[in-house]
Amino acid sequence: MEIRQISVIGAGQMGSGIAQVAAQAGFQVTLLDVSEAFVKRGMERIARQLERGVAKGKWTAAEKDAVLSRLQPTVQLEEAAKDADMVIEAVVEKMEVKTDLFRQLDQKCPTHTILASNTSSLPITEIAAATSRPERVIGMHFMNPVPVMKLVEIIRGLATQDEVYAIVKELAEAMGKVPVEVNDFPGFVSNRVLMPMINEAIYAVYEGVAEPEAVDQVMKLGMNHPMGPLTLADFIGLDTCLYIMETLYEGFGDSKYRPCPLLRKYVKAGWLGKKSGRGFYQYEGE
């Protein structure tokens, strides 16, 4: 099977990034979201990223225009589904939202279509069970920002066919990514390792071990991390961090994944990180 037409569901930061790298790899791409405003914002984000690449000499203006010509925005699920060889979902990280979407995609997509989820922590097997084609459902977890980060975790569900895995692996490579096969466990590898580190950094602040700046400095200078865990948490979104920690805690039932009370407190206060203007650091006016 050859992938020609890709549909990306969700035009936010992750979805628009996936759509961009797919179009840059030469695929015809449909980008869908629930409103014209969201799709327009996603397309504008892609155009800005491509314009920056032209300014830096990474590609020409003609190449930028060619990429944009391969992108088709829409708000109609039927339009995104009807000719898709592959659908990559990048909607909100909630199981009920994803399973409802996959149920609809299963009904509207051709029988050969592969359905992939960009979930960062939810079980692929459970998502696949909402469809009549669990053998053609797979996880494709891109890293943020998608145009920059090389890794893609590829997660097989219990029923995922070997052929589907091979196709998706080849697709990731065509997009310029490095695919890594991961088994279907909560948080996969990336967030199973990363989120407890972030959570422990939050505990260090909560327990008065050190201020956020000091925790981040220790990890940057002592462990050679490019960004401290609390700055990274602010960039990811503290609500997202909390949700993933809760997924790990519920999935494993192990107290080592218990979200720090300070993380819960910040989320309840609306201190979600950079996107809300305040998290462990202040971002007003940026």
Sketch the domain layout of the chain as residue ranges. 5-183, 191-276
**What is the layout of strands, in order, in the sheet containing 114-117?**
71-74, 28-32, 5-9, 86-89, 114-117, 137-142, 151-156, 178-182
- Mean per-residue pLDDT for 136-157? 96
Question: Residues 6 or more apart from 70 whose CB is under 8 A from it?
Answer: 23, 26, 27, 28, 29
Q: Tell me the CA distances in angstroms from 281 to 59, 101, 213, 228, 238, one per residue in order.
A: 36, 35, 9, 12, 12
Pick the CATH number of 5-183 from 3.30.465.10, 3.50.50.60, 1.20.1300.10, 3.40.50.720: 3.40.50.720
H or E element at residue 142: strand 137-142
Write out pLDDT tens, residues 158-176.
Answer: 999 999 999 999 999 999 9
pTM given for the model: 0.91
CATH number of 191-276: 1.10.1040.10
Q: Do domains 5-183 and 191-276 have the same CATH topology?
A: no
User: Which pLDDT does position 286 carry in this prediction?
Assistant: 60
- Mean per-residue pLDDT for 56-67? 96
User: Which pLDDT does position 1 carry in this prediction?
Assistant: 82
Give CA–CA dist 70/5, Å, rounded: 10
The residues annotated with a catalytic role in the active site are 120, 141, 153, 191
User: Which pLDDT does position 214 carry in this prediction?
Assistant: 98
In which region does residue 179 sit, left (phi positive, over 0), alpha (psi from -120 to 50) or beta (all else)?
A: beta
H or E element at residue 71: strand 71-74
Name the binding residues for NAD(+). 10-15, 33, 93, 98, 120, 144, 275
Average pLDDT, rounded, for the chain: 96
- Mean per-residue pLDDT for 259-274? 97
Write out pLDDT tens, residues 84-136.
Answer: 999 999 999 899 999 999 999 999 999 999 999 999 989 999 999 999 999 99
